[in-house]
């Protein structure tokens, strides 16, 4: 049994981890790695099979509201499904959803009525989540990164509709989104948080994997010993 699993059982055998961070920071890769170590279920954000996303990048004013409702619905269903398993890792949290809705509203892609409708639905879903068993996650892992690294990774993964070449408006969108995430994580207080600078680690390198596991284990152990209020912890190397 790995040290990670030993620590997991010491902490009571029930662990919920959320990943958060801007596009291109590596949330899915981290989530897959952690779920393997935890021997748990992983729950993915609906991106590759999202029927609206490519159209949104072409015409955000037309598709912003349908896209937000689609994401809100799929993320809520993912959380509800995840509650049926004792351990799980989610590659994106519902808590981030408002970032994108606010950005679309501020950019003029959503009307006031659409934005108000979205927020009302989000509040309803949040209230339902609060009623569920194990409503609060043990830990949200926030992957921080500079914008240049994010853009490089977006280019590397090669989704055509995400590329900024010949699309200055999309580059401006990414810059604004990057700033929104910086503001969001400073104010976030729904769960304990561990901030990891993703540029500093190669998730495919064994030594860095051990370092990442050590960070997560240490923080979970600390939170378990405190059994107190949500905390914000930056990584230490």
How many H-runs (helices) and E-runs (strands) does the chain carry? 9, 6
- What is d(CA 237, CA 225) in angstroms, rounded to the nearest whole number? 22
| 67 has pLDDT over 90 | yes
Mean pLDDT over 145-172 rounds to 87
The CATH number of whichever domain residue 17 belongs to comes to: 3.40.50.300
Model confidence at 46: pLDDT above 90: no
SS3 content of the chain, % helix, strand, coil (to 5): 60, 10, 30
| d(C-alpha 107, C-alpha 199), whole Å | 29
User: What is residue 102's predicted lDDT score, i.e. its pLDDT?
Assistant: 93
Q: What is the pLDDT of residues 214-236, one digit of tens each?
A: 999 888 888 877 764 444 455 54
| Predicted confidence (pLDDT) at residue 14 exceeds the cutoff of 90 | no
Mean pLDDT of 39-61: 83
Q: Among residues 49, 55, 91, 208, which one is catalytic? A: 91
Half-sphere exposure of 13 (CA within 13 A, CB side): 0
pLDDT tens-digit map of 101-116: 999 999 999 999 999 9
What pLDDT does residue 209 have?
93
> Does residue 57 register a pLDDT over 90?
no
- DSSP H or E run through 154: helix 147-157
The three-state (H, E, C) secondary structure of 25-76, written as one string: CCHHHHHHHHHHHHCCEEECCCCCCCCCHHHHHHCHHHHHHHHHHHHHHHHH
Q: How far apart are CA 35 and CA 133, in angstroms?
A: 21
Q: What are 114-152's pLDDT values in tens digits?
A: 999 999 999 998 888 777 765 567 889 999 999 999 999
Q: What is the mean pLDDT of the chain?
A: 83
Q: What are phi and psi of 117, to 5 degrees?
A: -65, -45
| Domain range for 95 | 3-234
How much is the pLDDT for 235?
A: 54
Is the predicted pLDDT of residue 8 greater than 70, yes or no?
A: no
Tell me the pLDDT tens digit for each residue of 77-102: 888 877 777 778 888 888 888 999 99
120 in catalytic set: no
Stated pTM of the model: 0.82
Domain count of the chain?
Answer: 1
């Amino acid at each position: 049994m790995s040290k990670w699993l030993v620590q997991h059982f010491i902490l009571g055998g029930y662990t919920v981890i959320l990943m958060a961070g801007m596009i291109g920071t590596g949330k899915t890769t981290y989530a897959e790695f952690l779920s393997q170590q935890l021997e748990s279920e992983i729950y993915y954000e609906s991106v590759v099979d999202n029927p609206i996303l490519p159209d949104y990048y072409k015409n955000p004013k037309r598709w912003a509201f349908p896209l937000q409702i689609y994401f809100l619905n799929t993320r809520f269903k993912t959380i509800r499904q995840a509650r049926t398993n004792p351990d799980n890792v989610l590659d994106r949290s519902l808590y981030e959803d408002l970032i994108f809705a606010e950005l679309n509203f501020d950019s003029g892609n959503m009307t006031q009525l659409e934005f108000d409708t979205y927020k009302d639905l989000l509040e309803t879903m949040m209230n339902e989540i609060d009623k569920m068993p194990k409503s609060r996650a043990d830990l949200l892992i926030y992957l921080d990164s500079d914008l240049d690294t994010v853009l490089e990774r977006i280019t590397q993964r090669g989704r055509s509709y995400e590329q900024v070449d010949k699309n200055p408006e999309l580059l401006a969108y990414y810059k604004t989104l990057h700033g929104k995430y910086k503001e969001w994580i400073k104010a976030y207080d729904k769960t304990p948080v561990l901030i990891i600078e993703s540029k500093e680690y190669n998730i495919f390198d064994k030594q860095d994997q051990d370092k990442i596991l050590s960070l997560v284990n240490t923080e979970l152990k600390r939170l378990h010993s405190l059994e107190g209020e949500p905390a914000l912890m930056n990584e230490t190397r």
